Amino acid sequence: MEFGKEIGLKLGPPTRNAFGEALKELGGENQQIVVVDGDVGNSTRTQYFGEAYPDRFFNVGIAESNMIGVAAGLAGAGKQALAASFAIFLLGNAYDQIRMSVAFPRLDVKLVGSHSGISIGEDGPSQMGIEDIALATSFPHFTVLVPADAPSTRAATRAMFSHDGPVYLRTGRPKVPIIYDGDVPFEIGRANQLRDGGDLTIIACGLMVAAALEAAHTLSAEGVEARVLDMHTVKPLDEEAVVRAARETGAIVTAEEHLLQGGLGAAVARTVSERHPVPVHTVGLENTYAESGDPLALLKKYGLMPEDIVQAARRAVEARRGRDGG
């Protein structure tokens, strides 16, 4: 996805590839890691691990419910178990198994959902994970990670295994711009500030972080300076960063490749309205499923472009000025 080209961002590998490579690397360091696949290992990239460590890799067939149960049992027996599938088949098909066998007993199971969002393109809406963040954040005790690019996905994969407890990591299919050079600061629950500005804050996750940076560049040319936060952890939300943004910049725009119900925008809006009310405008999918098509054309049609963030930012700044009495 060629967001951020104008501002010099280079296209990097898909986040699913970065995850797969990091998982394989970790598998060599940590013998306790075991992976369960629902026969999509070549899509989720758990295959890299499977080829390197066949004794710790189980393909249970196209059966997400059983995949989760087996992973939970492995965790119950002391393993660090990971289960991966397409985001929506994982969270959708096995929701109750995740609830009952992972979240409720707080077992140390790592879940990875690939093919998130509408940017998977041509395969169409049945394959698009657009509800997964809402479903994953609904579980008590869950940590939900939505990294923006390949380097931060590697860091997120590492952080996930250092964290004791259930985690959902969201990855994507398309190539995405590189946001982070060299060392990636990645602390679960701590947003990364990528750009500062005093007029509003754009809080984004996943693919939309690159779009947010491009939007901030456009806004700057109009004299509007935006702070940009990479909210790679949607749960637990970095509430302090959100409250600081509200207090210091007075207006917020959120951006996510997900339905507006139950996603990042909803979480930010709740925190802001409770702790420091300022205008919050949300960019995401508006109560709709998408369709098959070219990924970029889909993002345009469904309002997930840098330009959509720019427009939301103008509205948010306008709303703040109105509230401040001009």
Catalytic residues: 64
Q: Pick the binder of other proteins from 7, 11, 52, 66 (CB under 8 A).
A: 66
- Interaction between residue 235 and other proteins (CB under 8 A): no
Contacts with 136 (C-beta within 8 Å, 6 or more apart), sequence order: 91, 111, 113, 142, 144, 168, 170, 235
- Interaction between residue 96 and other proteins (CB under 8 A): yes
- Interaction between residue 77 and other proteins (CB under 8 A): yes
109-114/80-86 β-pairing? parallel
Nearest Cα to Cα of residue 302 among 128, 96, 93: 128
Closest contact distance (angstroms) between CB of 63 and other proteins is: 4
57-59/11-14 β-pairing? unpaired
Closest contact distance (angstroms) between CB of 94 and other proteins is: 9
Q: How far apart are CA 115 and CA 123, in angstroms?
A: 10
- Rank residues 67 and 317 by Cβ distance to other proteins and give the closer one: 67
Closest contact distance (angstroms) between CB of 316 and other proteins is: 39
Q: Pick the binder of other proteins from 1, 26, 35, 74 (CB under 8 A).
A: 74
Window of 21-29, 59-67, 195-203, 212-220 that interacts with other proteins by CB under 8 A: 59-67
- Interaction between residue 73 and other proteins (CB under 8 A): yes
Q: Answer whether 248's CB lies under 8 Å from 198's CB.
A: yes
Window of 54-62, 241-249, 256-264, 317-325 that interacts with other proteins by CB under 8 A: 54-62
- Rank residues 38 and 172 by Cβ distance to other proteins and give the closer one: 38
* Token pair in block for residue 255: 């951006």
Q: Pick the binder of other proteins from 43, 80, 249, 282 (CB under 8 A).
A: 80
Q: How far apart are CA 36 and CA 304, in angstroms?
A: 33
The angle at the Cα of 287, spanning 68 to 252, to the nearest 5 degrees, equals 95
- Rank residues 109 and 176 by Cβ distance to other proteins and give the closer one: 109
Window of 104-112, 123-131, 226-234, 315-323 that interacts with other proteins by CB under 8 A: 104-112
Closest contact distance (angstroms) between CB of 83 and other proteins is: 10
Which residues from 21-50 bind other proteins, rule CB under 8 A? Answer: 32, 34
- Interaction between residue 231 and other proteins (CB under 8 A): no
Phi–psi pair at 267, nearest 5 degrees: -70, -45
The angle at the Cα of 252, spanning 167 to 125, to the nearest 5 degrees, equals 50
Q: Answer whether 85's CB lies under 8 Å from 36's CB.
A: no
Phi–psi pair at 218, nearest 5 degrees: -60, -45
- Interaction between residue 104 and other proteins (CB under 8 A): yes
Residue ranges binding other proteins (CB under 8 A):
32, 34, 55-56, 58, 60-61, 63, 65-66, 68-81, 96-97, 99-101, 104-108, 164-165
